Amino acid sequence: MAEFTRDPDGSRTRQLIKPIAGHGEAVIKAIRLRPPRYRDIMAHGDPTQLIVMEGAALPNTDMGTIGKYIAALSLDAATGDKIDPGLLEQVDYRDALALTEAVEDFFKAASRAATPPLTN
């Protein structure tokens, strides 16, 4: 996974490769993604769907859904304030890919935790 700090509350913090301009004089140097909550999941759904073709199931990441999660979960790491989703247009492509991986990881980790162990 891309370089993130995992915080005790489950959030992920990334120092941005290229800081983004906030409102006024503000500069956002790091983004913290808080874990998704019930209302986020009910509003946006699972970002990965299975495409079933001829007996094979292939995962497909819906980037539109990922974008909705990034917009909903992004906080300025320095202030804890929610980042205006319009400001995310400035995010460097490397940071965008890292944020995408972090959102996917929230769901992968939850799936692993929710899967009961196999028994004989």
68-104: pLDDT as tens digits: 999 999 999 999 999 999 999 999 999 999 999 999 9
Paired sense of beta strands 56-61 and 48-53, if any: antiparallel
What gap in Å lies between CA 90 and CA 80, rounded to an integer? 19
Sorting pLDDT into bands at 50, 70 and 90, what band is 1?
Answer: very low
4-46: pLDDT as tens digits: 889 999 999 999 999 999 999 999 999 999 999 999 999 999 9
Indicate if the pLDDT at residue 115 is higher than 90.
Answer: no
Q: What is the pTM of this model?
A: 0.85
Burial of 90 from C-beta contacts in 10 A (0-12 / 13-18 / 19+): middle
60-65 contacts at long range (C-beta below 8 A, 24 or more positions apart): 61/100, 61/104, 63/100
- Both tokens assigned to 17: 């490769």
Angle (CA) 68 70 73, round 5°: 105
What are the sequence ranges of the domains in the chain? 5-101
